[in-house]
Structure 1
Amino acid sequence: MYIYIGFLTIILGLVFGLINTLNLVTVLDKINTMIKIPNGLLQWINDNANLIILVVMIFAILAILLFCLVKEVGKIKYKKIKAVIMLIGFISYFISAVLFISAAGIKVSYSIKDKTQYEVLTIDKKNMVILSTVNDKFLITEYTLKDGTIFFMTNNYMIIDNNNIFISYLNFSSSPTIVSE
């Protein structure tokens, strides 16, 4: 019976760990847009991505495992061992909860105003931005760049085929200002 519970706990912990990893990516991405993370730290995160994922997954597995076996942990006679196990469980729960709550808050508060990366193209010597894709067609509108500010001219839209066009990707320094006149 304990083998079955242990196996299910590890599988559930792995799934929970993957969710926590995605939450960590969301949190780090938001932090990087709010305050630029130094390149050295970003490089360290990239170099150690597998280790970070492994640690997050281990914390998730421990959190689920200790949650399922809390009665058995309570039966341990040695107080120091019980305290260490409970501390590890608390840290695991805390990290998982912080990642979940912060990522959920970021996802809920995200708006189109936060977007700065767009697909752009040129049609008849006009700069156009792709707003959406519908049935293999692009919804586009004109954009202009003045003094570092991007303006989307939303008074006219076009729907075009996605055949034989050249698309580039631009990352604007700030979110666009919508002009609808």
Structure 2
Amino acid sequence: AAFAEIYGIPMRVGKYHAGASETDKRALLRAVASIANDAAAIIPLGMDIQFIEAQGAKGEAVFGGLLEYLDKQVSKLVVGQTMTADDGSSQAQAKIHDKVRLDITQADCRQLANTLNRDLIPWFVSLNFGPQDRYPKATLPVAEPEDVKELTEAVARLVPMGLKVSQREMRQRIGVSEPEEDDD
């Protein structure tokens, strides 16, 4: 990050003459240092400031590489991995990493519920109803995603064997609404 911050800014080199005093040298150093901030400086006569341009990688490579690296770090921080947010190696690896995301969501919900139960609920209940022996508890459940294909295949195999299944429940579980009277 420090390299990227100064990348592209020419290095400033101040040259002083052999007889320069310590005061002159400090003045030159302050002038050279302030050029990046102020874009202006004054120096005593006989001293020189040179600008040396950076050589090597283009700015897009330096800043693009830094941005890509930071994006991946934020993905790891938020979802625990990069494969589901970036390009992954395989579907199997992506499924495992997706499970990590679910684990993080469940852990976040447990921590949030603990915070609500500890810091907010007792205060609100006490404020509105007075101190209580027991306070309500908040829970934030996160359901495991259901494999709709597996569910429908299992039901399709079991119904001919006599299993009775509620159409309403099956529609809810696979995410299909109840048909209206005039629907086909």
State the TM-score, normalizing by the size of structure 1: 0.26
Which structure: larger Rg? Answer: 2
State the TM-score, normalizing by the size of structure 2: 0.26
Which has the larger strand fraction?
1
